[in-house]
Amino acid sequence: MKSEQGIKNMVKEKYGRIARQARETGAASCCGSGCGCSGDVAVMADDYFQKEGYVAEADLGLGCGIPTDVAVINPGDTVLDLGCGAGNDVFVARRIVGEEGVVIGVDMTEAMIEKANANKHKLGFQNVEFRLGEIESLPVGSNSVDVIISNCVLNLVPNKERAFAEIHRVLKPGGHFSISDIVLRGNLPIPILGAVEMYAGCVSGATQRDEYLELVEQAGFLQVSVKKEKPITLSDEILLEYLTQSELAQFRSSGAMIESITVYGEKT
């Protein structure tokens, strides 16, 4: 079992590599992990192409939902995107908050922040900011943000309890979050849970759905609800890179599943 820092270093290395490659390469892997998931393209990512504010250069195909769809963002809001990558959700949120609002993106991977800033400068946006930092220790002031969004990132954070505590800290009283993430129902086979590539591909770092929602409530959030959900189906071709035929058959018959959910919660 890797240490928390070991997991972070692994994720940084993989997502740093993704930041330097073409979107099609990232999207063709499991949640953009580069794990060699041949045969399935963007098995988790949703289609942003018709969204106002969409910037193709910022979309690396790494998401598992569209958190801005249910985030209840208003003009003039201050929005924080956790694990912002190259800025995809940041630029969509900026379109909603308008010129009077502010959108901040935080990512722990230097190459992602560099790519996001390059996109920002190309677009000439003045009310967008990208900061290098970790979700468990956000470089953001307490009680300073109206809305927090995140897309397929919290599952990669080793200390989720600390992450949700930080989300609670930086939100203003009355603020709220909308987070798209990967969760599990039932138990994944051990070979998948132990595969480094699948961890950085958003699957084996995920927690059970009930445990995930309990962590959110324990952090002090109210009105917690799942606004969107969809099953994530990995093909036999992908899974046979990690499982034997008998393990695959057992998994398929177990009822265990991988889900993308978009969770909403409020701070009083």
**What is the CATH classification number for the domain harbouring 69?**
3.40.50.150
pLDDT at 219 over 80: yes
Burial 214-249 (b: 16+ CB within 10 A, else e): ebbeebebeeeeebbeeebebeeebbebbbeeebee
Question: What is the 3 state secondary structure string of 124-144?
Answer: CCCCEEEEECECCECCCCCCC
pLDDT over 60 (residue 68) = yes
pTM: 0.90
- Domain count for the chain, please give it: 1
CA distance 77 to 151: 19
pLDDT at 43: 56
The pLDDT of residue 10 is 83
The pLDDT value given to residue 29: 46
Residue linked to tokens 């989720």: 160
- Give mean pLDDT, residues 242-252: 93
Q: Does 84 score more than 90 pLDDT?
A: yes
**In Å, how far from its chain's centre is CA 237?**
25
Q: pLDDT band for 192, please (50, 70, 90 cuts).
A: confident
Name the residue with higher pLDDT: 3 or 36: 3
Rg of the chain in Å (alpha carbons): 18
CB atoms within 10 A of CB 197: 20
Sign of CA dihedral 177, 157, 168, 102: negative
Question: pLDDT exceeding 70 applies to what percent of the chain?
Answer: 88
Give the tens place of pLDDT for each residue, 7-59. Answer: 888 888 888 888 887 554 544 444 544 443 433 335 577 889 999 999 999 99
Domain of 99, in residue numbers: 4-266
193-217 average pLDDT score: 82
Out of 1-10, 77-86, 183-192, which region has the weakest mean confidence (pLDDT)?
1-10
> Does the pLDDT at position 86 exceed 90?
yes
Cβ–Cβ < 8 Å for 71, 81: no
Residue 195's closest CA among 33, 13, 62, 42?
33
Q: How far apart are CA 182 and CA 153, in angstroms?
A: 8
pLDDT band of 165, cuts 50, 70, 90: very high
Q: What is the mean pLDDT of the chain?
A: 89
Candidate from 87-101, 125-139, 188-202 with smallest mean pLDDT: 188-202
Q: What is the pLDDT of residue 199?
A: 64
pLDDT at 34: 40
